[in-house]
Chain A
Amino acid sequence: MATWLEALIALLIVVSGIFILVGSLGLLKLPTLMMRLHAPTKATTLGVGGALLASMGFFWAVEGTVSVHELLVTAFLFLTAPVTAHFIAKAHLHLERKRDGGERERLPETGTGSGWSTYDAAPQAGQGEEGGAPREG
């Protein structure tokens, strides 16, 4: 194996290990859940992506064949991480609302007539706009 390739793979492994460590450190140390959500969904996903890249390079250097499995795992993780974060944030907001007896977590104002769409119903069509047809019935 060429020395530069070996150095590149080793660097990728070390960097991904550091990213995974930082992600879990953030999960442990940050104060609120909305802050804690950032660390694993970004840093850890990037770390796993780096490890998968290193594995691709390693098996390309050793066996001479490019394997697609790592790309599959990477694509799957990078697609599902935002969905997971969204679901966790939504569950957190609704549980907070339920627990505090109607007092919502301090979210900023939306700046429109209606509230946040995860709490309130969707605004009626044409509401708050000039020339919108009034809904009948």
Chain B
Amino acid sequence: MIEYALIFGFVAVSLALVMNLWRLLQGPSVVDRVLAVDTMVINTIALIILQGMYQGTTLYFEAALLLAMFGFISTVAFCRFLLRGNVIE
């Protein structure tokens, strides 16, 4: 049962990633693209977690944690760059 649910989850998250990619390419403003990248990072975390369950290993959790941190920091840095023109003053 879990196998089929995992396959459904893979398909759903992959479709979501394609939609985010479409928004990233299309996005009318720069802020749209930043939002799309942030959502892509969160979806990638979900994909990593599902892959960890699929393979039955807990090896990927550190990768998920690192990706969560880097996604947050990069989004904040992007927005600060858009607001101020530089990141570190």
Contacts and interface: CB of A to CB of B under 8 A. Distances in A.
B87 interface: no
Nearest to A6: B1
A20 B10 CA distance: 11
Given A72-B65, A73-B68, A77-B45, A92 B29 contact: yes
Interface of B: 1-2, 4-6, 8-9, 11-13, 15-17, 19-20, 22-23, 29-32, 34-36, 38-39, 42-43, 45-46, 49-50, 52-53, 56, 58, 61-62, 64-65, 68-69, 72, 75-76, 79-80, 82-83
A16 B2 contact: no
Nearest to A40: B39
B29 A33 contact: yes
B29 A16 contact: no
